[in-house]
A and B are shown apart, each in its own frame.
Chain A
Amino acid sequence: MLTPDIYALRQTFMQERILLSFNGPFTESLIDEIGSALREHMLALVESPSAITDVFSMYIEMTQNIRRYTMEHDLQGAAASAIIVVSRDSDGVYTVSAGNMVYHADGERLLARAQSLQEMDKVALKAAFKAQLRQPRDTSKKFNGAGLGLIDMARKATFPLRATLTVEDTDFSFFSLHASL
Chain B
Amino acid sequence: MKDLHFTATTSTPDVDANWEAGRLRMGGDSYPENSFDIFQPVIDWLESFLTTETRPILLELSLVYLNTSSVRVLMDMLDILEEAHQGGRGVEVVWLYNENNERVGELAEEFKEDCTFPFHIRAE
Interface residues of A (CB under 8 A from B): 28, 31-32, 36, 48-50, 53-54, 56-57, 60-61, 64, 67-68, 126, 133, 137, 144-146, 148-149, 152
CB neighbours of B110 from chain A (8 A) = 126
How distant is B110 from chain A, measured CB to nearest CB, in Å? 8
Are A50 and B36 in contact, with the CB atoms below 8 A?
no
Are B33 and A67 in contact, with the CB atoms below 8 A?
yes
Are B31 and A60 in contact, with the CB atoms below 8 A?
yes
Interface size class of B (residues with CB under 8 A): 20 to 34
Closest chain B residue, CB of each to CB of A156: B103
How distant is B34 from chain A, measured CB to nearest CB, in Å? 8
A-B contacts besides A133-B71, A148-B71, 7 pairs, CB < 8 Å = A49-B98, A49-B100, A57-B67, A60-B31, A67-B33, A137-B36, A152-B68
CB neighbours of A67 from chain B (8 A) = 33
A-B contact pairs, 27 of them (CB 8 A): A28-B33, A31-B33, A32-B10, A32-B11, A48-B100, A49-B98, A49-B103, A50-B102, A53-B65, A53-B101, A53-B103, A64-B31, A64-B33, A64-B67, A67-B33, A133-B71, A133-B75, A137-B36, A144-B36, A145-B69, A146-B68, A146-B69, A146-B71, A148-B68, A148-B69, A148-B71, A152-B68
How distant is A64 from chain B, measured CB to nearest CB, in Å? 5
Tell me, yes or no, whether B120 is within 8 Å of chain A by CB: no
Given contacts A32-B11, A133-B75, A137-B36, contact A50 B103 (CB under 8 A): yes
How distant is B106 from chain A, measured CB to nearest CB, in Å? 9
Closest chain B residue, CB of each to CB of A29: B10
| One of A48, A61, A137 near B68 (C-beta < 8 A) | A61
Tell me, yes or no, whether B72 is within 8 Å of chain A by CB: yes
Given contacts A49-B98, A54-B103, contact A36 B10 (CB under 8 A): yes
Nearest 8 Cβ contacts at the A-B interface: A148-B68, A49-B101, A146-B72, A53-B103, A50-B103, A146-B69, A32-B10, A49-B100
Q: How far apart are the CA atoms of A67 and B33 in the complex, in Å?
A: 8
CB neighbours of A50 from chain B (8 A) = 101-103
Q: How far apart are the CA atoms of A95 and B57 in the complex, in Å?
A: 42
Are A60 and B67 in contact, with the CB atoms below 8 A?
yes
